[in-house]
Amino acid sequence: MVVSATHEAAPRDAGRLDTEFVIETVDLRMRYGAKDVLCGVDLRVKRGEVLALLGPNGAGKTSTIEILEGFRLRSAGEVKVLGIDPANGDEQWRSRIGIVLQSWRDHGTWQVRELLNHLGRYYAPYSTTDRVRPYRADELMELVGLTKQATARIGRLSGGQRRRLDVAVGIVGKPELLFLDEPTVGFDPQARQEFHELVHQLSGLGETSILLTTHDLAEAEKLSDRIVILAGGRIMADGTAAELGRQVAGQAEIKYSRNGQSHVDTADDATAFVRQLFAEHGDEIGDLEVHKPSLEDIYMTMVREFEAGQWTDTSTLPEVTQ
Protein backbone atom coordinates (compact mmCIF):
# COMPACT_ATOMS: atom_id res chain seq x y z
CA MET A 1 0.00 0.00 0.00
CA VAL A 2 1.21 3.47 -0.78
CA VAL A 3 0.11 6.47 1.21
CA SER A 4 0.86 9.83 -0.26
CA ALA A 5 2.33 12.60 1.81
CA THR A 6 -0.67 14.26 3.39
CA HIS A 7 0.53 17.45 4.91
CA GLU A 8 -1.22 20.57 3.81
CA ALA A 9 1.16 22.63 1.73
CA ALA A 10 1.96 25.91 3.40
CA PRO A 11 1.84 29.04 1.31
CA ARG A 12 5.13 29.54 -0.46
CA ASP A 13 4.93 33.24 -1.08
CA ALA A 14 7.20 35.27 1.11
CA GLY A 15 5.63 37.42 3.80
CA ARG A 16 2.60 35.20 4.35
CA LEU A 17 3.86 33.50 7.46
CA ASP A 18 1.10 33.82 10.02
CA THR A 19 1.43 34.63 13.72
CA GLU A 20 -1.47 32.31 14.65
CA PHE A 21 1.29 29.74 14.50
CA VAL A 22 4.08 29.61 17.07
CA ILE A 23 6.20 27.80 14.50
CA GLU A 24 5.98 28.12 10.78
CA THR A 25 8.47 26.97 8.20
CA VAL A 26 8.13 27.23 4.45
CA ASP A 27 10.37 25.17 2.19
CA LEU A 28 12.97 24.73 4.93
CA ARG A 29 16.21 23.26 3.64
CA MET A 30 19.41 22.12 5.29
CA ARG A 31 22.49 20.89 3.52
CA TYR A 32 25.69 19.63 5.14
CA GLY A 33 28.41 19.67 2.46
CA ALA A 34 26.87 17.82 -0.45
CA LYS A 35 24.25 16.10 1.68
CA ASP A 36 20.67 17.39 1.73
CA VAL A 37 19.22 16.65 5.15
CA LEU A 38 16.07 18.79 4.99
CA CYS A 39 14.54 18.98 1.54
CA GLY A 40 11.69 21.48 1.78
CA VAL A 41 9.91 21.12 5.10
CA ASP A 42 6.63 23.02 5.59
CA LEU A 43 5.78 22.81 9.25
CA ARG A 44 3.19 24.66 11.31
CA VAL A 45 2.55 24.46 15.02
CA LYS A 46 -0.48 26.26 16.43
CA ARG A 47 -0.49 28.12 19.73
CA GLY A 48 -1.21 25.67 22.58
CA GLU A 49 -0.53 22.60 20.44
CA VAL A 50 1.72 19.69 21.40
CA LEU A 51 3.37 18.47 18.22
CA ALA A 52 5.55 15.38 17.95
CA LEU A 53 8.13 15.37 15.19
CA LEU A 54 8.57 11.66 14.65
CA GLY A 55 11.21 10.01 12.52
CA PRO A 56 13.94 7.39 12.44
CA ASN A 57 17.57 8.14 13.29
CA GLY A 58 19.05 10.56 10.82
CA ALA A 59 15.66 11.79 9.60
CA GLY A 60 16.57 15.41 10.26
CA LYS A 61 14.69 15.99 13.53
CA THR A 62 17.58 17.51 15.49
CA SER A 63 18.60 19.68 12.55
CA THR A 64 15.04 20.99 12.36
CA ILE A 65 14.73 21.69 16.06
CA GLU A 66 18.14 23.35 16.24
CA ILE A 67 17.23 25.67 13.37
CA LEU A 68 13.99 26.55 15.15
CA GLU A 69 15.88 27.19 18.40
CA GLY A 70 18.27 29.52 16.57
CA PHE A 71 21.27 27.28 17.23
CA ARG A 72 21.80 26.29 13.61
CA LEU A 73 21.63 28.38 10.47
CA ARG A 74 19.41 26.93 7.74
CA SER A 75 20.57 26.61 4.16
CA ALA A 76 17.31 27.97 2.70
CA GLY A 77 13.62 28.57 3.32
CA GLU A 78 11.53 30.77 5.58
CA VAL A 79 11.26 30.22 9.31
CA LYS A 80 9.26 32.04 11.97
CA VAL A 81 9.24 31.06 15.62
CA LEU A 82 6.92 33.20 17.73
CA GLY A 83 6.79 35.52 14.76
CA ILE A 84 10.56 36.04 14.55
CA ASP A 85 13.20 34.52 12.30
CA PRO A 86 15.35 32.50 14.75
CA ALA A 87 18.46 33.52 12.83
CA ASN A 88 17.78 37.06 14.09
CA GLY A 89 16.30 36.14 17.47
CA ASP A 90 17.34 38.54 20.23
CA GLU A 91 17.41 38.03 23.99
CA GLN A 92 13.77 39.00 24.33
CA TRP A 93 12.77 36.37 21.79
CA ARG A 94 14.98 33.82 23.50
CA SER A 95 13.29 34.55 26.84
CA ARG A 96 9.98 33.41 25.31
CA ILE A 97 11.19 29.94 24.38
CA GLY A 98 12.26 27.07 26.60
CA ILE A 99 14.63 24.27 25.77
CA VAL A 100 15.01 21.06 27.71
CA LEU A 101 18.54 19.90 27.10
CA GLN A 102 19.79 16.38 27.62
CA SER A 103 20.81 16.21 31.29
CA TRP A 104 23.51 18.75 32.03
CA ARG A 105 26.21 18.11 34.58
CA ASP A 106 27.10 21.60 35.78
CA HIS A 107 26.18 23.10 39.15
CA GLY A 108 26.51 19.77 40.99
CA THR A 109 27.11 21.46 44.34
CA TRP A 110 24.19 23.89 43.99
CA GLN A 111 20.86 23.28 45.64
CA VAL A 112 17.73 22.86 43.53
CA ARG A 113 15.90 25.98 44.74
CA GLU A 114 19.09 28.03 44.53
CA LEU A 115 19.65 27.11 40.88
CA LEU A 116 16.04 27.81 39.88
CA ASN A 117 16.10 31.19 41.61
CA HIS A 118 19.42 32.00 39.95
CA LEU A 119 18.26 31.07 36.44
CA GLY A 120 14.86 32.67 36.98
CA ARG A 121 16.45 36.10 37.49
CA TYR A 122 17.48 36.15 33.85
CA TYR A 123 13.79 36.15 32.81
CA ALA A 124 12.52 38.82 35.21
CA PRO A 125 13.16 41.75 32.83
CA TYR A 126 10.94 40.01 30.26
CA SER A 127 7.95 39.67 32.58
CA THR A 128 4.64 41.01 31.23
CA THR A 129 1.20 41.43 32.77
CA ASP A 130 -0.04 38.49 30.69
CA ARG A 131 2.85 36.28 31.58
CA VAL A 132 4.59 36.92 34.84
CA ARG A 133 8.15 35.66 34.58
CA PRO A 134 9.88 33.74 36.03
CA TYR A 135 8.08 30.96 37.86
CA ARG A 136 8.52 31.26 41.59
CA ALA A 137 10.97 28.49 42.49
CA ASP A 138 8.58 26.90 45.01
CA GLU A 139 5.71 26.86 42.53
CA LEU A 140 7.96 25.36 39.88
CA MET A 141 9.35 22.68 42.18
CA GLU A 142 5.82 21.68 43.07
CA LEU A 143 4.85 21.55 39.41
CA VAL A 144 7.69 19.20 38.49
CA GLY A 145 7.57 17.20 41.73
CA LEU A 146 10.81 18.37 43.33
CA THR A 147 9.46 20.10 46.44
CA LYS A 148 11.14 17.62 48.75
CA GLN A 149 14.44 18.13 46.96
CA ALA A 150 14.41 21.95 47.33
CA THR A 151 17.62 21.99 49.35
CA ALA A 152 19.18 18.85 47.87
CA ARG A 153 22.49 19.21 46.07
CA ILE A 154 22.01 18.72 42.34
CA GLY A 155 24.86 16.22 42.13
CA ARG A 156 22.99 13.99 44.58
CA LEU A 157 19.67 13.80 42.67
CA SER A 158 18.52 10.50 41.18
CA GLY A 159 18.31 10.18 37.38
CA GLY A 160 14.55 10.79 37.39
CA GLN A 161 14.89 13.81 39.68
CA ARG A 162 17.64 15.22 37.43
CA ARG A 163 15.29 14.96 34.47
CA ARG A 164 12.57 16.80 36.41
CA LEU A 165 15.11 19.49 37.15
CA ASP A 166 16.03 19.65 33.45
CA VAL A 167 12.36 20.33 32.71
CA ALA A 168 12.17 22.92 35.49
CA VAL A 169 15.21 24.67 34.02
CA GLY A 170 13.57 24.56 30.57
CA ILE A 171 10.35 26.18 31.77
CA VAL A 172 11.55 28.51 34.54
CA GLY A 173 10.97 31.50 32.25
CA LYS A 174 7.34 30.41 31.54
CA PRO A 175 8.04 29.87 27.86
CA GLU A 176 5.37 30.28 25.22
CA LEU A 177 7.05 27.49 23.31
CA LEU A 178 8.99 24.55 24.71
CA PHE A 179 11.37 22.33 22.75
CA LEU A 180 12.00 18.76 23.88
CA ASP A 181 14.55 16.94 21.70
CA GLU A 182 14.26 13.17 22.20
CA PRO A 183 13.47 13.76 25.87
CA THR A 184 13.28 10.13 26.99
CA VAL A 185 16.26 8.57 25.24
CA GLY A 186 17.95 6.12 27.61
CA PHE A 187 15.12 6.15 30.16
CA ASP A 188 13.91 3.03 31.91
CA PRO A 189 10.14 2.39 31.61
CA GLN A 190 9.33 4.00 34.95
CA ALA A 191 11.33 7.16 34.27
CA ARG A 192 9.69 7.33 30.84
CA GLN A 193 6.24 7.00 32.39
CA GLU A 194 6.99 9.74 34.92
CA PHE A 195 8.31 12.03 32.22
CA HIS A 196 5.19 11.48 30.12
CA GLU A 197 3.02 12.44 33.08
CA LEU A 198 5.05 15.60 33.51
CA VAL A 199 4.61 16.59 29.86
CA HIS A 200 0.87 15.93 30.15
CA GLN A 201 0.76 18.19 33.14
CA LEU A 202 2.59 20.95 31.26
CA SER A 203 0.40 20.66 28.18
CA GLY A 204 -2.66 20.69 30.45
CA LEU A 205 -1.68 24.16 31.64
CA GLY A 206 -2.41 25.28 28.08
CA GLU A 207 0.03 28.20 28.20
CA THR A 208 2.88 26.46 26.49
CA SER A 209 3.06 25.02 23.00
CA ILE A 210 5.40 22.06 22.84
CA LEU A 211 7.47 20.65 20.00
CA LEU A 212 9.02 17.33 20.87
CA THR A 213 11.08 15.02 18.74
CA THR A 214 11.08 11.29 19.15
CA HIS A 215 11.64 8.14 17.15
CA ASP A 216 9.12 6.29 19.28
CA LEU A 217 5.64 6.18 17.75
CA ALA A 218 4.00 5.11 21.03
CA GLU A 219 5.52 8.14 22.76
CA ALA A 220 4.34 10.45 19.97
CA GLU A 221 0.82 9.01 20.18
CA LYS A 222 0.74 9.33 23.93
CA LEU A 223 2.04 12.88 24.28
CA SER A 224 1.02 14.88 21.27
CA ASP A 225 -2.07 16.45 19.73
CA ARG A 226 -0.57 15.95 16.30
CA ILE A 227 2.21 13.88 14.76
CA VAL A 228 4.42 14.90 11.86
CA ILE A 229 6.47 12.06 10.41
CA LEU A 230 9.79 13.20 9.00
CA ALA A 231 12.06 10.94 6.99
CA GLY A 232 14.68 11.56 4.40
CA GLY A 233 14.36 15.27 5.12
CA ARG A 234 10.70 15.44 4.09
CA ILE A 235 7.37 15.38 5.85
CA MET A 236 5.78 12.05 5.03
CA ALA A 237 2.56 12.36 6.99
CA ASP A 238 0.87 14.87 9.24
CA GLY A 239 -2.18 14.43 11.44
CA THR A 240 -3.56 13.23 14.75
CA ALA A 241 -2.74 9.63 15.64
CA ALA A 242 -6.32 8.70 14.70
CA GLU A 243 -6.07 10.48 11.34
CA LEU A 244 -2.77 8.83 10.52
CA GLY A 245 -4.21 5.48 11.56
CA ARG A 246 -7.12 5.96 9.17
CA GLN A 247 -4.84 7.07 6.35
CA VAL A 248 -2.53 4.11 6.62
CA ALA A 249 -5.11 1.45 7.41
CA GLY A 250 -6.53 1.78 3.90
CA GLN A 251 -5.73 -1.59 2.37
CA ALA A 252 -6.33 -4.83 4.19
CA GLU A 253 -4.66 -8.12 3.42
CA ILE A 254 -7.04 -11.07 3.10
CA LYS A 255 -5.73 -14.62 3.32
CA TYR A 256 -7.95 -17.60 2.64
CA SER A 257 -7.96 -21.03 1.13
CA ARG A 258 -10.28 -22.15 -1.66
CA ASN A 259 -10.66 -25.83 -2.31
CA GLY A 260 -7.51 -26.34 -0.21
CA GLN A 261 -5.39 -23.83 -2.19
CA SER A 262 -4.00 -20.73 -0.39
CA HIS A 263 -4.71 -17.21 -1.66
CA VAL A 264 -3.64 -13.74 -0.56
CA ASP A 265 -5.45 -10.60 -1.79
CA THR A 266 -5.54 -6.97 -0.80
CA ALA A 267 -8.60 -4.74 -0.74
CA ASP A 268 -9.60 -1.24 0.34
CA ASP A 269 -12.89 -2.52 1.74
CA ALA A 270 -12.21 -5.87 3.38
CA THR A 271 -15.85 -6.42 4.36
CA ALA A 272 -17.11 -5.97 0.80
CA PHE A 273 -14.33 -8.23 -0.50
CA VAL A 274 -15.19 -11.02 1.94
CA ARG A 275 -18.92 -10.67 1.27
CA GLN A 276 -18.25 -11.05 -2.45
CA LEU A 277 -15.90 -13.97 -1.86
CA PHE A 278 -18.55 -15.91 0.04
CA ALA A 279 -21.28 -14.95 -2.43
CA GLU A 280 -19.20 -16.40 -5.26
CA HIS A 281 -17.57 -19.39 -3.59
CA GLY A 282 -19.45 -20.05 -0.33
CA ASP A 283 -18.43 -23.36 1.22
CA GLU A 284 -15.23 -23.59 -0.86
CA ILE A 285 -13.66 -20.87 1.32
CA GLY A 286 -11.72 -21.71 4.49
CA ASP A 287 -8.90 -20.43 6.78
CA LEU A 288 -10.02 -16.81 6.38
CA GLU A 289 -7.75 -14.14 7.92
CA VAL A 290 -8.08 -10.36 7.52
CA HIS A 291 -5.24 -8.08 8.55
CA LYS A 292 -5.28 -4.30 8.46
CA PRO A 293 -1.81 -2.75 8.78
CA SER A 294 -1.64 -0.46 11.77
CA LEU A 295 0.19 2.83 11.94
CA GLU A 296 2.89 0.94 13.82
CA ASP A 297 3.26 -1.54 10.91
CA ILE A 298 3.62 1.31 8.42
CA TYR A 299 6.01 3.26 10.58
CA MET A 300 8.24 0.27 11.38
CA THR A 301 8.40 -0.63 7.68
CA MET A 302 9.36 2.95 6.92
CA VAL A 303 12.10 2.91 9.56
CA ARG A 304 13.52 -0.40 8.34
CA GLU A 305 13.59 0.75 4.73
CA PHE A 306 14.98 4.15 5.63
CA GLU A 307 17.74 2.65 7.77
CA ALA A 308 18.61 0.13 5.06
CA GLY A 309 19.10 3.11 2.71
CA GLN A 310 16.30 1.94 0.42
CA TRP A 311 14.66 5.33 0.11
CA THR A 312 15.65 7.21 -2.93
CA ASP A 313 12.24 8.65 -3.71
CA THR A 314 10.87 9.83 -0.38
CA SER A 315 7.68 11.37 -1.66
CA THR A 316 5.52 8.55 -0.31
CA LEU A 317 5.30 6.22 2.62
CA PRO A 318 6.57 2.73 1.78
CA GLU A 319 4.63 -0.30 0.77
CA VAL A 320 3.94 -2.57 3.71
CA THR A 321 4.80 -6.17 3.05
CA GLN A 322 3.52 -8.52 5.69
Ligand X SMILES: Nc1ncnc2c1ncn2[C@@H]1O[C@H](COP(=O)(O)OP(=O)(O)OP(=O)(O)O)[C@@H](O)[C@H]1O
24/201 Cα distance (integer angstroms): 25
Closer Cβ to ligand X, 39 or 152, answer by number: 39
Would you give the binding string for ligand X spanning residues 41-70, x where CB under 6 A is met? --------------x-xxxxxxx-------
**CA torsion angle for 19, 23, 28, 29 (degrees, to 10)?**
150
Q: What is the number of alpha carbons within 13 Å of residue 89 lying toward its C-beta?
A: 24
Residue 37 touching ligand X (CB under 6 A): yes
Residue 103 touching ligand X (CB under 6 A): no
Residue 10 Cβ, how far from ligand X at the closest point, in Å? 20
Would you give the binding string for ligand X spanning residues 145-174, x where CB under 6 A is met? ------------------------------
136, 122 contact by CB (below 8 A):
no
Helix ranges (H only) for the chain are: 61-69, 91-95, 112-123, 137-144, 159-171, 189-205, 217-223, 241-248, 270-281, 295-307
Closer Cβ to ligand X, 307 or 319, answer by number: 307
Residue 77 touching ligand X (CB under 6 A): no
Residue 33 Cβ, how far from ligand X at the closest point, in Å? 6
- Strand 35-46 and strand 21-32: pairing? antiparallel
Residue 59 Cβ, how far from ligand X at the closest point, in Å? 4
Closer Cβ to ligand X, 69 or 253, answer by number: 69
**How many of the chain's residues bind ligand X (CB under 6 A)?**
11
Closer Cβ to ligand X, 58 or 250, answer by number: 58
207/96 Cα distance (integer angstroms): 12
Would you give the binding string for ligand X spanning residues 227-266, x where CB under 6 A is met? ----------------------------------------
Closer Cβ to ligand X, 231 or 244, answer by number: 231
Q: Which amino acid is at 295?
A: L
Residue 320 Cβ, how far from ligand X at the closest point, in Å? 22
165/158 Cα distance (integer angstroms): 10
> Which SS3 state, helix, strand or coil, does residue 221 take?
helix
87/241 Cα distance (integer angstroms): 32
Residue 225 Cβ, how far from ligand X at the closest point, in Å? 21
133, 124 contact by CB (below 8 A):
yes
Closer Cβ to ligand X, 60 or 160, answer by number: 60
Give contact residues for ligand X (rule: CB under 6 A): 32, 37, 55, 57-63, 215
